[in-house]
Amino acid sequence: MLEGKYQRGFTIERLSATIEPRVKRDERGLFLYTLSENVKVYFEDYYSFLEGVYDKCQSEMDTLAEKIEHTPSQSAETLAYYRARMIVTNIVRKTALHFYIDGANFGVIMTPWCFGTVALEKIEVYRDRMARGDVQDPNAPEYPFYVIRYVNEIYKSTLLALLDFPEQAFQMRWQYSELVRRYSKILGNINDSLNSVLLKIRNYQS
């Protein structure tokens, strides 16, 4: 459990009772081949990874909150850096929590590197929304320009540090993006086919 209150979305008991054909077991435990990369991932390993990420993010946020509290308002650049790092860390923490408690979608089970790619793209989307003024973040108060600038400068290095990844980790980010595009196209084709069938039915009935 996370913080003693957040339970894993797919518990061992639930997985043991499931008839989902993708869930298999060997001498190491329960696993599946991920939707995004077709890589073998053990549930226990992945949840342990998310727990470590969440705990590290929470510790980092506690440290940053203390630094922000004790930094004078005149030190605008320093505060902007701390707040930018807080924004990035909070997105990673929320992503880890969301995947941890999701028990409805096997797509949230992925390799740590793929998780890093997902978090990276979430940060980039959030950064762009902040830049457009579409979202008001409490860590980017009256003058968000400096905070957004620092987010843009540090988000990759911060994410690598939080996940303890080498820099080349994000060279594989195309896998997740390509998967989303592929499934979007499939769903679009299905929708077009259904609309075509409904149109033929209406024409037949008329």
Q: What is the dihedral of CA 141, 131, 74, 56, to 10 degrees?
A: 80
Q: Is the pLDDT of residue 198 over 90?
A: no
CA nearest to 126, candidates 139, 113, 135, 115:
135
Q: Is the pLDDT of residue 191 over 80?
A: no
| Greater model confidence, 1 or 73 | 73
pTM over 0.85: no
| Greater model confidence, 189 or 169 | 169
